[in-house]
Structures are given as structure tokens and as C-alpha cells.
Structure 1
Amino acid sequence: MANENLIITDDIDKIAKTAVDYINNQLEDITPENYFTIALSGGNTPKKLFRHIAENYNKALPWKRIKLFWGDERCVPPESDESNFKMTYDNLIKFIDIPPENIFRIKGENDPDEEACNYTKTLEQNLRFRRGHPSFDLILLGLGEDGHTASIFPDRLDLFTTEDYCATAVHPVTGQRRITITGKIINNAVKVTFLISGIKKAKVVREVILRSPEASRYPAYFVNPVDGKLKWILDAEAAGEL
């Protein structure tokens, strides 16, 4: 892996500044009538990133030209503390000047199968197409201790080969239902970035980044953007076994 695709830092400001600069640089290549599209992730590291951007860089981005989506959502209402949308709203959205029509949340309160279909239509109607499929400019992903990413768990590796753009999944421990984008969307993005922190992720990080044979049981192993770029941003603990 090239060094520029792996950032190890404890400095959340460096991560935020990298993200802001990347988005602004990409917007220079997008015509004014178009938008920069981002699929957001839940989790503690994105939470820290969102809050830091809101507090330090909220005026640094042209939010009116940015559309926000989500990579996955728990099947809960938007006011639930388990909602990825609520986490993003509380730490980013309420602090920035982004038009409501630029926010495309997954409606976790709806019937999951119907919402997976509805969100597929949302992607088809609001993303540019590459290689015949909807394509995000940037997807942010987290990583679970079991190697899952978005809401694609180890027992659902089929979600990396399905032709569907969105699907439902069930958390293998809690039984909670989720709605997630699939590998078809993840690997068609222009850029995918993992944001990972914590020593409990170090083993999985090492196996996936080094492409160990045992890593093929992890969904994160199959994140490999076609004609796109994959970046890893880790804190020192998550990178501890590299």
C-alpha cells in the first residue's frame, strides 16, 4: 500500500483538515451546477471528525454544493440515540449552513425492505453514474471488531456480490435490523476512506491492510474501489499491529 493511502495520527485536526482540503479540491473539478456527494458513517471516530469540522471548519466548505447521504442506518426513528442520522445531526448538521434538500437520510423508522428500495431510488436520482452505476464522490466507512463495514456483516458477504444497491441486514449479535449500501455502491465510489480508532480494531486492521489469507472472512477485505482510491486514516492504537 502506498504511504499516501495510509495516514496514522492522533491529531483529529489533521484528519479534519485533510477531509476539508480533499472536498474543496474535488469541487474545483465539478461544474457549479453539480454537487459533491458524501456517504457518511456512524461510530466514534466519525463523531469526533464531524464535531471538529463543525467547530473549526464549518465555514470552510461550500455546503450548498454538498449532498449528504448515509452508508447505513439502524432501523430506529431519527430521534433515537442509536440513529446514525441523529449522531450526525447533533455533531455536524445543526452547526452548518446546508440546505435541507441536500440531506438524504435513510429512514430507519420505515419498513426496512421498502426503505432499501426507496434509498436505491434516492441514489439513482441524486448521484452521478460511473461504469453504469451510481457513484459517490466520497464514502466514509468505519470498521467493526468483527471486520464488518457499513452494515455488511461477516455472515452476509453476499452483499459484496449482489447487484442490489441497498439491502437489509441483521446484526449477528443483537438481532437489530439495518439498512445498508452494498459492495456494488461502495466499490463504485471515486474515493473510499476508512476512519478507525482503538486498539480493539488493530488485529483486523493489520490482517485487512496486509491482505492476510484469514482476512477474507471480513467484509472490509472486499472494499476495493474499481477505478477509485482507498485511503485508511487510523489512530496509533488502531495501527498498533502494522
Structure 2
Amino acid sequence: METKIFYSKEQLARFFGDYLTALTNQKDVVHVALSGGSTPEAIFDLLTQEYSRLVKWDRLRFFWGDERCVAPDHEESNYNMTRQHLFNHVPVPEQNVFRVKGELGPRQALSDYKQVLNKELPKENGLPFFDVVVLGMGDDGHTASIFPHEIFLWDSSEICEIGTHPESGQKRITLTGKVINNASEIVFLVTGKKKAEKVDVILNQKEGYESYPAALVNRERSIWLLDQEAVNNDR
């Protein structure tokens, strides 16, 4: 596992921009699963400003690690956030975007996304294979849409599942652990002081760390990109 600590979200975003640029220079096709949240939003904004001509956008094929069961124009949709902050500003071909159709409802959206993953992704170890899975981490240690109260979904035999937000009860479609850990590389984007406690427990494998889904990501294949606040655990 590799960790990199940045002084600001902007510095972190530039590292990620350089990372994407290098990937698209090295490979003709790059399969990426994106994350939602405020950190990717800030990164996308910087990518559109500074990397619109550096990244070879037509080589990227975009999927999502999780999505809420809402319409694609809903304010809580991860796809909608990405469209507003990234796709509307860079030359990503429409046929390279494979969203979760959350408006279909949980069961049908799950079935549809399983078909999409199996059809559109290459296979490795008999599973859909991503070059990069981008993940965030919640204050509660969840990642994708696998929350601590449903940590058993991580080990599901399925490639994706329906997760449930512990407070709102909102249904979400999420990749499961076997697909996430099958990726060539897993990139965590974690910023903010609210994440510091869980970052400390997970990265240093302190007592109880295995109760957090984010701790179950393959350490050998993951890189954690953190801002200064996310590693400052002084209280």
C-alpha cells in the first residue's frame, strides 16, 4: 500500500491529473470506475481547468463504483455530478460513459449494471477488470456503498449488490469487494479532518479496523491520496 499526503485538495488533484495523463499515454483503452462525493467534485473541477488537453479523454471508459437509485439528473446522482463538473467540459465520447441506471429502481438497476459490467469490461480472474477503481471513504469508514452495518456485502458472490444507507434507508448500487480488489489499481481520495480518525485506524490497522469496509481493500494494489487534514488526528 502506498500513501501520499498533500497540503491541499488542489495539490492532490494535480497529482491525480498527472496520473490520468500518464495512464492515457501508456494505454489505448483505460477502464475507470469513478466515485462520488465532494473530493472528486473538486478534482474534476481542476481537471477541466488544467488537464483538458493533457489527458487523452477518448481513451477513458467511465463506470461507477456506486450510484444512488435516483434519476440521472437528480442532485444526488454521482453521474450527474460527474457530468456537470467533468463531462460537460472535456471531450469524453458519449459512448465511453456507462452509468448505473438508478431511475429503474434498485432491482432492475442492479440487473442492468451487472449486464453492463459483464459486457463492456475485459475479464481477469474470471471477473470484470478495471484498470483503476477510484474510491472515497465516509466518516463511518464505508467505501463505495458498502456500509459497516452491511459489511457482509463486501464478500458477496455477486459482482455488484444493493446497499442501504444506514440513516436515510436510500438504496444504492455498489460494486462488491471481489471486483474492487480485482482492479489493477485502487485509488482512495480522502480529504478533510472528519476522516482523520478512521484513516488512522485503517492505515495503521488499529483495533477494530476490519469492521470498516474501507479496510478490506487490497493493500498491495491500493494508493491512498490524502490531504493534510485527513492525517492530522490531533484532538
In the alignment, the residues of structure 2 paired with residue 64 and residue 193 of structure 1 have an alpha-carbon distance, to the nearest angstrom, of 21
Partner AA of 1:17 in structure 2: R
Question: What is the CA distance between 1:14 and its match in structure 2?
Answer: 3.1
- Who is 1:53 aligned against? 47
**Residues 1:131 and 2:125 are matched in the alignment:** yes
Normalising by structure 1, report the TM-score.
Answer: 0.92
The corresponding residue for 2:177 is: 183
Aligned to 1:16: 13
Tell me how far 1:19 sits from its aligned partner. 2.2
CA separation in 2, counterparts of 1:212 and 1:15? 26
Aligned-residue offset at 1:229:
1.9
Maintained 8 Å contact 2:24/2:55: no
**Alignment partners' CA distance in 2, 1:197 and 1:138:** 19
* Unaligned segments of structure 1, at least 5 residues: none
Matched, 1:152 2:149: no
2:224 corresponding residue in structure 1: 232
Runs of 4+ off more than 4 Å? none
- Given that 1:85 and 1:105 are in contact with CA atoms closer than 8 Å, whether structure 2 keeps it comes out as yes
Contact in 2 for aligned 1:12/1:52 (Cα 8 Å): no
The separation in 1 between residues aligned to 2:202 and 2:77, in whole angstroms, is 28
Shift of 1:36: 0.3
Q: How large is the Cα RMSD of the aligned pairs?
A: 1.6
Measure the CA separation in 1 of the matches of 2:229 and 2:18: 25
Q: Is the 8 A contact 1:72 1:179 kept in 2?
A: yes
Which shows bigger deviation, 9-18 or 51-60?
9-18
Q: Report how far residue 28 of structure 1 moved.
A: 4.5
Distance 1:63 1:195 in 2: 20
How far off is 1:78 after superposition?
1.1
Q: Which residue of 2 aligns with 1:118?
A: 112
Gaps of 5+ in 2: none
Q: Distance in 2 between matches of 1:29 and 1:82?
A: 34
Q: Distance in 2 between matches of 1:70 and 1:39?
A: 4
Q: CA deviation at 1:108?
A: 1.1
Which residue pairs with 2:86 in the alignment?
92
